[in-house]
Amino acid sequence: MQIFKRMALILAAAGVTFGLIVISIVVYQYTVMEPETPHAGDCQLKQLEQTQDRAAEVHRYECTRGSETTWQGTEVWLYEPLTEDWQRMLTVKGEPCVRLRLNERRLTVLHSGNKLDFNLAEPVFIYKEKEGTSRSLAVEIDNQATTCKG
């Protein structure tokens, strides 16, 4: 009988620990992991590219975020007008020269900085067309670009 009580206590402790971990992950995802859209921060739209079918838009913003420790940089967002969903694609701190070139299924990010300065959320983004089918948009970073040099 003593063994059953110990096993029950161990299982209860493991269950409580597991529950706390799951709750912590959920709270983190809804408070920290989800970034504010560019309209919620101090962001200025600098470039807008649209897919041919206009099912998705790629926006490039220059943003300043934070109150105590201010972050300044460039943010690139994927916007789906049909569902009004925003996905942050990448960020880069500072004031690098960044330009976007959108082809059918590839977004090329042209810049004159270091690739290590870029924080790319995903290499491929999924969005829905107006017919409801899913499309992908691959991101390529080109730091050999001369579009920024005067």
What DSSP assignment string belongs to 62-109? EEEE-SSS-EEEEEEEEEETTTTEEEEEEEEES---EEEEE-SSEEEE
Q: What is the pLDDT of residues 75-117, one digit of tens each?
A: 999 999 988 999 999 988 887 788 999 998 899 998 877 777 7
pTM listed for this prediction: 0.73
Give pLDDT, residue 102: 94
Give pLDDT, residue 50: 94
Q: What is the pLDDT of residues 40-59, one digit of tens each?
A: 778 899 999 999 888 999 99
Give pLDDT, residue 148: 62
